[in-house]
Amino acid sequence: MPIARNSNAIATVSLRGTLEEKLAAAAAAGFAGVEIFENDLIGSALTPREVKSMMDDLGLACMLYQPFRDFEGMPDHLRQRAFDRAERKFDLMAELNTDRILFCSNCQPAALGDRARIVDDFRELGDRAAQRGIIVGYEALAWGRHINDHRDAWAIVEAVDHPAIGIILDSFHSLSRGIPSDSIRAIPGNKIAFVQLADAPVLDMDLLYWSRHFRNLPGQGGLEVEAYVAEILRTGYDGPLSLEIFNDRFRSNAARMVAEDGHRSLDYVRDAALRLLGRPSTMPPPQPALGAEFVEFAAEAHDSARLGSSFATLGFDLCGEHRHKRVTRWRQGGINLVVNAENKGFASAYRAAHGPSICAIGIRVRDRNAVLARAAALGIKAYNPEGRPGRMAMPALRGVGGSLVYLIDENEVEGLWAREFTPIEPSDPMPAPHAHGVDHLAAVVHNDEFLSWQLYWRSLFGLEARAAQDVIDPSGLVHSQALQSADGAFRVTLNATDARETLSARFLEQGLGGGFQHVALTTDDIFATAQALHDGGAAMLEIPGNYYDDLAARFGFDDAMLARMASLGILYDEDANGDGFWQCYSRAFDKLFFFEFVQRDGGYAGYGAPNAGVRLTAQNRFREVVVTD
Ligand code: MG
Ligand code: MG
């Protein structure tokens, strides 16, 4: 059976459900084929022939049967049994109509490490496989008893020198052990029988446990899967790239979502690998996000007025009214907030589902059409309102929680505001701006979607994953992942939790799903900003005195400084180079979303993670306060 060149495949173990559900999800996501994981078949009520017929109906190829364990180097009294087992699986493969099987390196204590014996075993296996038209791929498990490195597996396959015996490369097994990817250059592409890919967070953990529970999709972890794939493509290998993901979360997530993300991750990693090689790719390159041009809030008319008052105390000026819609523009420095009080259209529908909320963000890009083309290639849906095909003032993509990501060409920004909005002169003389730009946008997402949204930002805009943090909310643990453009001009943080009473979880519950929860604004003078906010009557978050006692101990601030920070609710963190980070927070609007003001000194690249627990505890104190109109 010919295998589609450069195709995408997925191992059934990566997906939740029965074998039928796994196959249906893989087909729906557009995979050309699957690896049938033995346990999925054994547990299935379908006969192998029924599985084959279902795959035929779905248009899926069975590209690999796996795994066959503990074959090579068995002592004499167990050797024949291993070959008998292999013959039985070859029979099964004929029923499934697959020509490829994965033999992983032996983990048995009884296995012999004798290379000559292992080579003999594979040579005989090769003769038997060849009679059936089968290719056997040998995979070095990272925890194999004698063979646990793809360089050793290749040395054996090379010595076996049999057309029916090749090597299988699995990025997790290689990269988890830190094996240099350029070692793949020693392998001719036609000896690579199959390629399995997985990423993983970088953890210091037992390899087997790490592999079985924490693998994730390329673009979701910290392994250099892109460079690994580049080395594989460099060999001339043009077979499928296949996902083999053991992940506790994926075992319970909707199979459809994991399959769709999986397909996207393979397209992403292939594109990234081709770029590393300087070869043409069918996908437009990632366009950097140049910054957040605006944040749009959905609010009903009376909420809109309250929001406006709140924005005014936070230093924003009403500076424009939409020419045709109930939409206002508030500005501070280079920051634009848009309040959409229309009673039809996207914002209205979003508000109906989520309450007053951030329903969209606008991102400046160099070439929005290139972003749209890349999004389409990645299967990221564009927002196309009914009845207005092609007439959108700004194209938009679906984002977190069903919110929108508008795309604005940087050279059209000023024209766009002028065209859509009637300017309003501020009634008071415009005060000096307190803040001048958006530092980051913080989203809260369901834990099930936490990795999904990381892949979205990384694959679409080429954002880089930065500090991952576990933040302690008084009611439970929150996972936080920061992503940013290479120059830091655009940053998002994703926060997720399973703990039901955390601020993040309550945000999800009240807002009926994920979304942006806070907007952090940049200032060059946090003290002047905080003082102005205080003087203007902004509702700011109070920080307990104990925090400042601790700060005195950690950083040696003098009493006057600490007193000033305490009176203004300013938090502080410092990196290893002594570069500081200053923050203060507004109280949450209807306990839903809030603002942060930050000052970054020097090269401070984090988000004040050591302060997050204090901030969350302070916010928690206000959770029972009911804001009435
Ligand atoms: Mg594998
Ligand atoms: Mg923040």
In a domain, 443, yes or no: no
Q: How far is the CA of 264 from the centre of ligand 2 (A)?
A: 28
Residue 375 within a domain: yes
From the CA of 508, how far away is ligand 2's center (Å)?
A: 17
User: Which ligand has the nearest atom to the CA of 11?
Assistant: 1
Q: For residue 471, report the distance from its CA to the centre of ligand 2, in Å.
A: 12
**Residues 304, 272 share a domain:** no
Q: Which ligand places an atom closest to the C-alpha of 571?
A: 2
Ligand 2 centroid from CA 506, angstroms: 17
Residue 329 covered by a domain = yes
Ligand nearest to the CA of 172: 1
Q: Is residue 468 part of a domain?
A: no
What is the four-CA torsion angle of 47, 53, 57, 62, rounded to 10 degrees?
90
CATH code, domain carrying 62: 3.20.20.150
Does residue 417 lie within any of the structural domains? yes
Q: Which domain-ending residue is among 400, 423, 446?
A: 423
- 445-454 in b/e form (b: 16+ CB < 10 A) is bbbbbbbbbb
- Give the DSSP H or E segment for 429: none
Whether residues 146 and 253 share a domain: the answer is yes
Tell me the CA–centroid distance for residue 519 and ligand 2, in Å.
7
Q: Is residue 268 domain-shared with residue 302, that is, in the same domain?
A: no
Residues 56 and 190 grouped into a single domain = yes
Confidence of residue 623 (pLDDT cuts 50, 70, 90): low
- Judged by its nearest atom, the ligand closest to the C-alpha of residue 141 is 1
Q: How far is the CA of 196 from the centre of ligand 1 (A)?
A: 6
Q: Are residues 237 and 329 both part of a single domain?
A: no
Q: Which are the contacts of 354, defined by CB distance < 8 A and separation ≥ 6?
A: 298, 401, 511, 512, 513, 515
How far does the centroid of ligand 1 lie from the alpha carbon of residue 244, in Å? 6
What pLDDT is recorded for position 302? 86
CA of 346 to the centre of ligand 1 (A): 44
Q: What is the residue-averaged pLDDT of the chain? A: 92
User: Tens digits of per-residue pLDDT, 180-219?
Assistant: 999 999 999 999 999 999 999 999 999 999 999 999 999 9
- Domain boundary (377, 392, 423) is at 423
Does 557 reside within a domain?
no
Sign of the Cα torsion 538, 542, 547, 548 reads positive
Ligand 1 centre to CA of 100 (Å) is 14
Same domain? For 300 and 252 the reply is no
| Banded pLDDT at 499 (limits 50, 70, 90) | confident
- The number of the ligand nearest the C-alpha atom of 167 reads 1
pLDDT in tens, 436-489: 999 999 999 888 889 999 999 999 999 999 878 888 888 788 899 999 999 999
**Residue 137 sits in the same domain as residue 224:** yes
- Residue ranges making up the domain that contains 390: 291-423
Nearest ligand, CA of residue 517? 2
Which contiguous run of DSSP H or E holds residue 511?
none
In tens, the pLDDT along 225-280 reads 999 999 999 999 999 999 999 999 898 889 999 999 999 999 999 999 999 999 99
- Do residues 221 and 326 share a domain? no
Of the candidates 243, 276, 309, which is a domain's last residue? Answer: 276
Structural domain count, the chain: 2
Residues 172 and 47 in one domain: yes
Q: If you average pLDDT over residues 423-448, what whole number do you get?
A: 84
In a shared domain, residues 314 and 413: yes
Mean pLDDT of 278-284: 95
Same domain, 301 and 272: no
* Low-confidence winner among 140-149, 325-334, 419-428 (lowest mean pLDDT): 419-428
| Span 365-407, pLDDT tens digits | 999 999 999 999 999 989 876 544 444 568 999 987 789 999 9
- Closest ligand (CA of 150): 1
What is the model's pLDDT at position 83?
98
Confidence of residue 1 (pLDDT cuts 50, 70, 90): very low
| 208 part of a folded domain | yes
**Ligand sitting nearest the alpha carbon of 494:** 2
- Given pLDDT bands bounded at 50, 70 and 90, which one contains residue 506? confident
Q: Give the contacts of 253 (CB within 8 A, at least 6 positions apart).
A: 16, 448
CA of 559 to the centre of ligand 2 (A): 27
CATH number (domain holding residue 325): 3.10.180.10
Expressed in angstroms and rounded, the spacing between residue 454 Cα and the centre of ligand 1 is 24
Q: Are 168 and 303 in a shared domain?
A: no
pLDDT at position 585: 97
pLDDT of 538-585, one tens digit each? 999 999 999 999 999 999 999 999 999 999 999 999 999 999 999 999
Q: Is 484 left (phi over 0), alpha (psi -120 to 50) or beta?
A: beta
What percent of the chain lies above the pLDDT cut of 90? 82
Domain presence at residue 460: no
